[in-house]
Structure 1
Amino acid sequence: MNKKQSRPQDGENNIEVWEDLVHIKDLVLSIIICTVITLGAYLIAPNEPPKPLIYGLIGAVVGFVISSIIIKPKRTLRFAEEREE
């Protein structure tokens, strides 16, 4: 069974990242969300040695979750049967 991805035919406002097409607006929005939340969590952390790192990592995970909720995938997968001859 083959999985085939259908990609947008027009290709406008898309760039290729790790062999996948990404809409530029969505990419920039997710980068901004993750950066702001990670930096914010790092800055509000107490100034004790491991806490800024932990807060920053938690902020990055929260930013990723928020980005994945806001930005939905736009690809569709179709399964095609292989014919043996």
Structure 2
Amino acid sequence: MRKENDPNEKKNIEVWEDLVNLKELILSLAICSVTTLSAYFLAPAEPPKPLFFGLAGAIVGFIISSMIVKPKRTFEMIEDED
């Protein structure tokens, strides 16, 4: 749950109905872009290989980003009083 006067709220933006830290979003996008393009340009020039190398680079970028940026979501159990 979000508090009304949360100081981190100003650093977050809403993406697909979820709050995301802008600095971490840009960092993750940069990491994924660099790994994807690096793998694509390092691939041999034979037709399907650049696609597969680029996809592998995107997966590597996702894994690196998920290790660097940790989730900040917390869940609270609220019991109904019925």
Q: Give the structure-1-normalised TM-score.
A: 0.86
Q: Structure 1 or 2: larger helix share?
A: 2
Runs of 4+ in 1 over 4 A off after TM superposition: none
Q: Tell me, what secondary structure is at the counterpart of 2:36?
A: helix
Structure 2 residue identity aligned to 1:7: R
Say how many residue pairs are matched.
Answer: 79
Aligned residue identity for 1:48:
E
Partner of 2:41: 43
Describe the SS at the equivalent of 2:41: helix
* Structure 2: gaps (5+ residues): none
Deviations 1:27-68 (A, max 9, x none): 000000000000000000000000000000010011001100
Gaps of 5+ in 1: 1-5
Superposed CA RMSD in Å reads 1.2
Q: Structure 2 length normalisation: TM-score?
A: 0.89
Which deviates more from structure 2 when the two are superposed, residues 64-73 or residues 9-18? 9-18
